Structure 1
Amino acid sequence: MQNPLPASTKTESATGSTAVPVQTKVDGFGCQLAKLDDDTRFVSGDISFHRKRSADPYFGQVATEASDRGFLIGLSLKGRHRRRIFHSSNRSSLHDFEENSIYVRNFADDYKADLDGQFGFALMEISGAGLEEMAGGADLPAISELCGETAHRDAMLGGMLNAIFSVADSNNASNSLVVDQLAAAIGVHVMHAYGKASGAHETTKRRRLSTLEENRSKELLASRVSGVIALDELAEACGLSRVAFIRAFRETTGFTPHEWLTRQRIDLACSLLRASKLPLAAIAATSGLGDLSHFTRAFMKATGAAPGAWRRSRQS
């Protein structure tokens, strides 16, 4: 969560005189912290993800001053939310947000809006440098800004954001590659859907890893079979952006990095089930497949049998 910024509101007494200002803490998006029922944040690559929810039907006003923070994409996680956005020259516009409705705004502009109705929003903050990095990795023209949108429906982005928050909410360290891969896919979608090209497209196509890069990637993944590895570490080892690395790894091996690592973890779990008497929970932890519930789901998906049943059939 970003450091709250102090804001003050003046109250009027019965006689009309101005009372002492009341300090109200707000976040980096101008939301009153005391009125938020959910304030989740995590970072993956060039995107800072936030989830903000409030059951207060009279949330009030949000406002931010112009800055060089980059761009904000907000997606409504539920319908029946309305906001009046104030523009220059004393103009304003009223917008109704249904589920999966988005807005895109530039932090370089002042922003002020009145929020009406309960809301839940997933937010993505991306810097200008982050836009250029993601565009380059996705083999797109140079992109330095996003097109402004308000209350535009984007069901695909909604599905991806629900997925990434679901994985992040599980607090399962073994899912870090899943979060990174979803974040990369979200970045590519945002670039394609809302990116504004700022120059000629100089392609840097390289679709496959070299043998050295493939071996290096697999060695890194295998060395963390029981632990955690970040997508950025794998990409950096091959001198690629995270998006370009995922594409090249999949083209070379037929799997995403997470899929390949999961196969290694399942193979390790099978070896431990067959040759040891370790409890299932210990095997789950040793093979990097999280808690027993997650281990069971992943194992059944890969083998068609529950771990205990698979072990009994191999040891009998």
Structure 2
Amino acid sequence: MTQASAFGRSLRQFLHLRDAPPSLITRSLRGVELAVTETRDDNPVPGISGSFAPEDAFVVSLKLHDYPDCELWENGKCVMKADVPAGATYLYDLKRDPRYVIDKPFHSLFFYLPRSALDGLTEQSGVPRVGQLACEIGVGHDDAVIRHIGASLQEGLRRPDETNQLFIDHMMLALTAHVAQAYGGLQSVTESIRGGLAPWQVKRACERLESDLRGKLSLAKIAAEFDLSVSHFSRAFRVSTGLPPHQWLLRQRVNTAKQLMGVRGLSLSEVAISAGFANQSHFTRVFSSVVGTSPGMWRREGRDAPENET
């Protein structure tokens, strides 16, 4: 699921990394690429960082390692020095040529957020466009939402085979909406959608999700079948089912696995693959989290597998 995005290649040059770091990518807003990339170097090449190509885009960075006495540059000039603590969020405007001096180990998550994605979000929600984001050099934010999203996507980066596209789309859409609201003054976009999907839409959406238990379908593709925006479809689906699409799909995988475990002769690894899990380890982890017991124990107890049990 991970791949080296254009942003990942830019980060390699920017941070003088030996290889382009893997990224998780979504194109749910106007088909524009949004990406999250984890970068780490415990023995970096000393010197000032490279430059990003100037563009109307932003980088949101969640710091995972303290970086004291960081020398910050903007528009070709040294602006200040600041201590950068682990857990803080920083925003950078790529039109301003943000750079810094690399002279100690670093570890961060970087989210690439083009202006066109922000415009796509507001267009879909029928609200005014976001103006300038709060990208003040050297100013970190104590942002629990970014930390939560970052931790979830970090797991996805480390377990790419277990990460479905619906999850990436959902988390990056949530990140975009949060950044627009917290740092761009956008009013909550959830107020415009009060109702759920029509019954026939729920039925068809669930059938589409169930037909691809591996989770390769994107939110954009499913939403387009109903002529809905991704954000509208995601919120309406959650209103109708009580779960966002990626979590509904996980529950459906578990239900399918329960049914398959009633078939004699099927090993747990065969059940795992048939139910859309990446492997038996992935199956065991998800099943145990949802059901409260391991697949092996559940099977040995000889439980029934009701169609809608979760």
TM-score with structure 2 length normalisation?
Answer: 0.81
Q: Distance in 2 between matches of 1:135 and 1:2?
A: 25
Cα offsets for 1:21-43 (capped at 9, x unmatched): xxxx9746622133x7x823221
Percent identity between matched residues is 24
Match of 2:15 among 14, 20, 31: 31
1:21 alignment partner in structure 2: none
Matched, 1:99 2:86: yes
Maintained 8 Å contact 1:42/1:48: yes
Q: Distance in 2 between matches of 1:89 and 1:78?
A: 26
Maintained 8 Å contact 1:226/1:286: no
Matched, 1:253 2:237: no
Q: Distance in 2 between matches of 1:226 and 1:86?
A: 44
Matched, 1:40 2:29: no
Q: Distance in 2 between matches of 1:252 and 1:177?
A: 17
Maintained 8 Å contact 1:85/1:114: yes
Give the greater-gyration-radius structure (CA): 1
Deviating more after overlay: 250-259 vs 207-216: 207-216
SS of the residue 1:248 aligns to: helix
Maintained 8 Å contact 1:133/1:241: no
SS of the residue 1:228 aligns to: coil
1:123 alignment partner in structure 2: 110
Structure 2, unmatched stretches of 5+, are: 28-32, 305-310
Letter matched to residue 178 of structure 1? F
Match of 1:209 among 189, 197, 200: 197
**Structure 1 residues 158 and 174 mapped into 2: Cα distance closer, same or farther (>3 Å)?**
closer
**Structure 1 residues 265 and 66 mapped into 2: Cα distance closer, same or farther (>3 Å)?**
closer
SS of the residue 2:302 aligns to: helix
Matched, 1:275 2:259: no
Matched, 1:64 2:75: no
SS of the residue 1:146 aligns to: coil
Q: Distance in 2 between matches of 1:3 and 1:59?
A: 24
Q: Distance in 2 between matches of 1:136 and 1:206?
A: 18
Aligned-residue offset at 1:291: 1.2
Q: Distance in 2 between matches of 1:294 and 1:159?
A: 21
Letter matched to residue 109 of structure 1? R
Aligned-residue offset at 1:136: 4.0
Cα offsets for 1:246-280 (capped at 9, x unmatched): 21111111111122222222221111111332111
Q: Distance in 2 between matches of 1:106 and 1:188?
A: 17
Q: Number of residues paired by the alignment?
A: 291
Letter matched to residue 33 of structure 1? L
Aligned-residue offset at 1:123: 0.8
Q: Distance in 1 between matches of 2:114 and 2:173?
A: 15
SS of the residue 1:314 aligns to: coil
Q: Distance in 1 between matches of 2:270 and 2:263?
A: 14
SS of the residue 1:152 aligns to: coil
Matched, 1:190 2:172: no
Larger relative contact order, structure 1 or 2 (CA cutoff 8 Å, min sep 6): 2
1:165 alignment partner in structure 2: 154
Flag the structure with higher strand content.
1
Aligned-residue offset at 1:113: 2.5
**Structure 1 residues 278 and 227 mapped into 2: Cα distance closer, same or farther (>3 Å)?**
farther
Q: Distance in 1 between matches of 2:77 and 2:156?
A: 43
SS of the residue 2:298 aligns to: helix
**Structure 1 residues 116 and 241 mapped into 2: Cα distance closer, same or farther (>3 Å)?**
farther
Maintained 8 Å contact 1:299/1:307: yes
Cα offsets for 1:30-81 (capped at 9, x unmatched): 22133x7x82322123421122112136632114266224111112111134
**Structure 1 residues 314 and 163 mapped into 2: Cα distance closer, same or farther (>3 Å)?**
same
Structure 1, unmatched stretches of 5+, are: 5-24
Q: Distance in 2 between matches of 1:136 and 1:26?
A: 28
Letter matched to residue 59 of structure 2? L
1:11 alignment partner in structure 2: none
TM-score with structure 1 length normalisation?
Answer: 0.80
Q: Distance in 2 between matches of 1:314 and 1:3?
A: 50
